[in-house]
Amino acid sequence: MTFVIRAAKADDLQHLYEMAKRTGGGFTNLPPDRKALTAKLERGAAAFSRTADEVGDDLFVFVLENTATGEVRGTCQIFSAVGLKWPFYSYRIGALTQHSEELGRTFRADILNLSTDLEGVSEVGGLFLHPGERAGGLGMLIARSRYLFIRNHRQRFADRCLAELRGVIDEAGGSPFWDGVAGRFFGMNFQDADEFNAKHGNQFIADLMPKHPVYIAMLSEAAKAVIGVPHPSGRAAMRMLEEEGFAWESYIDIFDGGPTMTVRTDQIRSIREAKDEAVVALDGNLGDNKSGEKRLVSIGKLADFRTAYGWVDPREGGIALDPACAALLGVEPGMTVTHVARG
C-alpha cells in the first residue's frame, strides 16, 4: 500500500477544494470555499509550528496521499480545543417533568436546551475520503491516525474529545431539523446558514437564536424524526467512533440535528492500546500471506508526523517492520515508532 497520512501543506489547497465540492453540504469543517480552506491551511501551519506543550486554539489539518501518484485522496482535522474564539453551541436533549394534583397526572416533556457545555473540549472532525478510495481500510487509517497524533502530543489536547456527525440532509440539500427549529428565527435556508457558519463562525447563533428551551413536541414530525440521527453516509463513521469508546450523550448539532459523540481522551481505544517500540529489523518476509500483523504505524512529531499501514512482527528488543512501510515513513532500524492494531 502506498498511502500515507501527513500534515497538510499550502499546496494541498486545490486537492482540498476538489474534495470539498464532493461533500454534498452540511460539512462545516470542509467548505467548498478557497478562502476558507486557505485560512484553515494557514491556521494548521501555525499549529504545527507551535512547539509549546499546552492546549491552545490549534487546528491540525492532515491529508491522505497516494505516494505512488502524488494525489491527495482524503483529509481529516483535529481541533485542540473548541469554543476558545467563538462560543461552541450545541443542543442538549433534556426533560422537564410536571405534575398536576387537580388532574392527577404527570407530564414529561423532552426539550432542547442551547448549551456551551462542550467549550474547551478537543474535536476530531473534517474526515473525508474520496469515493474512489472507500475500500481497503483507508477510512480507518485516516480516522485512527488522529488518535495516534493526539497520543503523541497529549499535552496539546483536552481531557475530553468530541466528534460531530453530519445530520440528515434531504435530496434538495436542505435539513428537516434546521427548517423545524433554527430556520424559523434566521430568515435563511440551511445551505446559506451552513455556508455562512463555515466561513465566519457561529456567533450569529448567539446573536439571533432564542435562549429559551425548545419543546420537541412542538416540532414538525420531519424535524423530530432526525434528532440525533446521522446522515446515511456517516453511519460507518459512527460505528468507528463507538468502537473507539465515543458515546452519544444527548448533544446534537444546532444546524442539522446530527449527533455529537464524546469520550474521555485517555479512554480512546487507539490511545490506550498503542505502543512505542524500537524497530530492530526490516523484514521483507512480512506481508500478505506471509507473516506478521497489519497495524497502523506512525512516526514523527508535529509537521513531521506520518502514519501508514505496516506489517509488524515482535522481535527481541522491539519489532520488525516491512520495508515498504519503512520507506513510506522514512524509518530505519534503531528508530522508535508508535503502532496499534488495525481493528
Do residues 309 and 339 lie in contact, with contact meaning Cβ atoms separated by under 8 Å?
Answer: no
Query: How far is residue 329's CA from residue 309's CA, in Å, rounded to a whole number?
Result: 10
212 is a catalytic site residue: no
Query: How far is residue 94's CA from residue 75's CA, in Å, rounded to a whole number?
Result: 34
Contacts of 256 (CB under 8 A, 6+ apart): 26, 166, 167, 168, 169, 175, 177, 178, 190, 194, 226
Q: Following CA atoms 229, 220, 95, 116 in sequence, which dihedral angle do they give, to the nearest 10 degrees?
A: 60
Burial class for 113, CB neighbours closer than 10 Å (0-12, 13-18, 19+): middle
Do residues 93 and 110 lie in contact, with contact meaning Cβ atoms separated by under 8 Å?
Answer: yes
Query: Nearest-CA neighbor of 90 among 110, 116, 121, 120?
Result: 116
Query: How far is residue 37's CA from residue 197's CA, in Å, rounded to a whole number?
Result: 13
Burial class for 313, CB neighbours closer than 10 Å (0-12, 13-18, 19+): middle
Between helix 190-200 and helix 34-49 the angle, nearest 10°, is 40
Cell, residue 316? 527481541
- What 3 state SS string does 3-30 have? EEEEECCHHHHHHHHHHHCCCCCCCCCC
Do residues 329 and 337 lie in contact, with contact meaning Cβ atoms separated by under 8 Å?
Answer: yes
Catalytic site residues?
231
